[in-house]
Amino acid sequence: MGSQVLKFVPYLSCFAHTNPANLAETAERIEMHVGSAAEPTAAAATHPLAASVLTDGALAFLGELHERFEGRRRDLLAARSERQICLDRGLRPEFRADTAHIRSGGWTVASAPADLTNRRTEITGPVTREFMISALTAGADVFMADFEDATAPTWDNIVTGQANVAEAYRGELTPPPYTTTLMVRTRAWHLEEKHITVNGEPMAAALVDFGLCVFHNAGSAVARGTGPYFYLPKVEGQDDARLWNEVFDHTEARLALGPGTIRATVLVETIFAAFEMEEILYELRDHITGLHTGNWDYLFSMAKTFRNDLAFVLPDRDRISVTTPFMRAFTELLVATCHRRGAHAIGGMSGVNPEGKDEERIAGALRKVKVDKRREAGDGFDGTRIAHPGLVPVAQVEFDKVLGSRPNQIARQRDDVFVMPEDLLTLPGSDGAVTLAGARTNIHIVIRYLGEWLSGNAAVMIDDHLEDTAMAEVCRAQLWSWRHHRVEVSDGQILDDALLDQLINEEFAELQAFLDPAQWEAGRYDEARDLLRALITTDDYPEFLTIPAYELL
C-alpha cells in the first residue's frame, strides 16, 4: 500500500489575549479573580496539604480548564486510536503536505526570557523535597521538576510535589542566591488524575499538574524575575501543540498574565513529533523556547507505533545508541529545525550515578557520558540533560569547550542536515540480535522498576543508573514485540509464552536474592511480576504500562 500523510483534523483557536495586568500580581489576587468564575468547581480527595494546594480558587480554576479543554483532549486521543488502525494497515508517516507553507515560511519563535537563555546543563528528577533541594543547589542552569516519568502518581506524591514546587518558586526551598531556573514537567495528555473530578469525571492529569502549578506560582515566579515555565511530554504533533497553546493563551488571559509569560519546552519523544517539529514550534511560537530529544521515549514510540510490523522489531537495547542511523537522523533534524526557528535544542538525558559502588564500571560509564555530551555540543545542541547532581560538571565542561562565553549556539545553522522520511523509519534488523541475555535484562528492569513504582518511587537506581518510566516502557515494548513476532533468540529458541514465563520466574527469584530483605519488603514485586506477565502476553497491546499500573496505586 502506498504511503499517505497521517494527520489529525485541525482545530480552531478560540481564545485571544486580553490586556495584561501587572506581572507581579499576587497569588491572593489570582485566587479572588478565579474564584468568582461561574464554572464547575473540581472536587478533590482529601489530603493534609489541601488548605494550601487544593484551595477553592485553585479547584475552581481546574474546573474551568476541564470544561473548556476536556472535550478537545478526548478528540485527540480518539484520533490517535484511529491513526493506529491506519498504521496497522501499513500506512507510514511523512512530512505533511498540508503544512508545507509552515515549513517554508520565514517565521521564528519568540525570544527566550533572560533566565532561559543559557541552558547548557539541565538536571531532572522527582518532585520530592530532598531531590529538589539537591537539584536546585547542584549548579545546573535549569532544574526540571518532573511530575511524569520520575514521579509515581500517588495522591500524596502529587499534592506534596505541588507544595514543594510552590515553596521553590517562593524562594523558600533553598537559600539564596537562586541561580538555577525552575521548570515543571506535567504528565501527558493520555493520563488522568482520579483524585480530582469535575461532575464525576476524572481530570486530565496534564491540566491538574499545569493548573495547580500556574495558579499558585505564576505571581511569585514573575515577581522573582522568572516565570511559569513548563516541559510538555509526549506531544505527538501540531494538534497537541495547538491545544497546549490555547490552554496557555486562556490561562494568561484568565490570570491577568502578560502574553507570552508562560513558556514551554516540548519533549520530542514520539515518531509523529519528529515529523512535525516545525509545526509544533509554529503553533507554540509565542510560548515555546525549545525542543528536547527524549531518546528512550522515542525508542519506545517506535516499538509501540509499529508494533505489528516485523520490519520494526528492535534488537537488544545495547545494540542501539544515539549514533544508530535512524536515531542520528532524528537528533540532527531536531537541532537544524530548532536553530532555523530561533529555538533551543536540548540533548538527551544521562542517568549515570557517579557515586556507584563499582568504580571501574562507573569510570567506563562516565567516559561514555563525556563522549556523548561532547558529541551533542559538537552537533550544535544548546544544552543537555542529566539525572544526578554529580554529572553537572561533567556536562558543563563539554559544553563550555564549544560555547565559551556564548549562552547558546542558536546562531549556528545546520544547513548541512537533510533528512528524508526513510532516514527516520529505517531501523537496524533484529535477526540474530535478540538474545536471552537481552530478554533477561529487560525483564529484570521492568520488575525492579515497577516494584518500586507501585510503592511510590519512580526514580529507581538500577545497575548504577537512575532509571525512570521511559526505560521500563522500552523494555516491556521490546518483550511484547519479540513474543508477538515469535522472534528467534540467538541460541535458536523461540521467545514464546513458555520461555517468557520461565525467564520471568528466574529473574524474579534472582531479584529477590539480590535485594536485601528490607528492600524486598518495601517493594511490590509480586504485583510487578504479574503485571509484566499480563502486559507482554496479551495480543492487545497496552498503549502505556502506567495506565494499568495506576489502577494498582
Residue 6 has what DSSP assignment?
-
Q: Which of 187, 382, 468, 483 is catalytic?
A: 468
CB distance 353 to 388 below 8 Å = yes
341 in catalytic set: no
Beta sheet of 43-44, edge-to-edge order: 43-44, 192-198, 201-204
Element (H, E) at 73: helix 56-88
Query: Left, alpha or beta for 486 (phi > 0: left; psi -120 to 50: alpha)?
Result: left
- Give the separation between CA 170 and CA 156, rounded to whole angstroms: 21
* C-alpha 482, offset from chain centre: 25
Q: Is 390 left (phi over 0), alpha (psi -120 to 50) or beta?
A: alpha
Distance CA 335, CA 337 (A): 5
Alpha-carbon torsion, ordered 313, 298, 427, 279, to 10 deg:
130
State the residue for C-alpha cell 517493594: 523
> Contact, 488 vs 499, CB < 8 A?
no
Which residues pair with residue 184 across a beta bridge? Answer: 145, 230
8 Å CB contact between 365 and 402? no
Active-site annotation holder among 185, 242, 285, 385: 185
The DSSP bridge partners found for residue 350 are 386
- Tell me, yes or no, if 185 is annotated catalytic: yes
Give me 403's grid cell: 560555547
Determine contact, residues 452/416, Cβ cutoff 8 Å.
no
Q: Are 396 and 119 in contact (CB under 8 A)?
A: no
* Catalytic residue positions, numbered: 185, 468
